[in-house]
Structure 1
Amino acid sequence: MRRVENKNKEEELEHNPRLFKKKWIKDFIDRNLSSHELTVERIAQIAQCSTRTLHRAFEDESECSLSEYIWQRRLTRCAEDLRDPNSIGRTISDVAHKWGFTCSAHFSRSFKAFYGVSPRVFRDSARAG
């Protein structure tokens, strides 16, 4: 059954260039989240297209812009690391920096806006179980 689902998705990607581009964009973002240079402009440069083309490829069913998607993916990966018991020795700034945030204060504000609590409270509550 799984094989049929994958085949259908592959056929759908082949026949819908916009879906293919969106998948490529998401895969590229996930592979490069830790890079401080990951921006819409940089993705466009690598993909050899305009930023507008990227935005159009991404906007179909997305609830957020491409830039917002990058931030959300970074925040999600930070949250995963903050929950991870293996990252106990790492500071919150280390985790933020690992996933492409260059300013700890900006990371903390963004994290709190997205999750409703500060990174420290989030980590402490995850550790408390």
Structure 2
Amino acid sequence: MPATPGRWWAARRGLDIGPDAILAWGVTSGADIFCWYTADPDPDRWPVLVCGRHTRDGFTLYACGMAEFLRRVLLDEFEEYPLSIDVRGGEPTFVHWLEQQRRWKAGLDPHTGEPDPFADMLPR
């Protein structure tokens, strides 16, 4: 498939998706970018597109929405793992940013709530 302006990167990977149909919504510490493919006028039907930094395929489209994609990642339900970093094996948790801030100010680890041994080294 010949590359057209604005589509060169997708064409290299065999996808015919231009940047005008992509909306990024997340990123991993491994530099993977989570996007929606927005070609459908109904946002409830937008599949997930992963731009993988260190994955086998640079761009992979998943026929599911964001919540289902994240559920399947966390429960290791993909045949081929879709991320550059491995988050399997842990116990996923969610901590609201206000709670993280409260913990940090109290000298606790913002994610676990446990005492932070480095708390006295950081300005509060």
Q: How high is the TM-score relative to the length of structure 1?
A: 0.30
Q: How high is the TM-score relative to the length of structure 2?
A: 0.31
* Greater fraction of residues in strand: 2
Q: Which has the larger radius of gyration?
A: 2
Higher relative contact order (CA 8 A, sep 6+): 1
* Greater fraction of residues in helix: 1
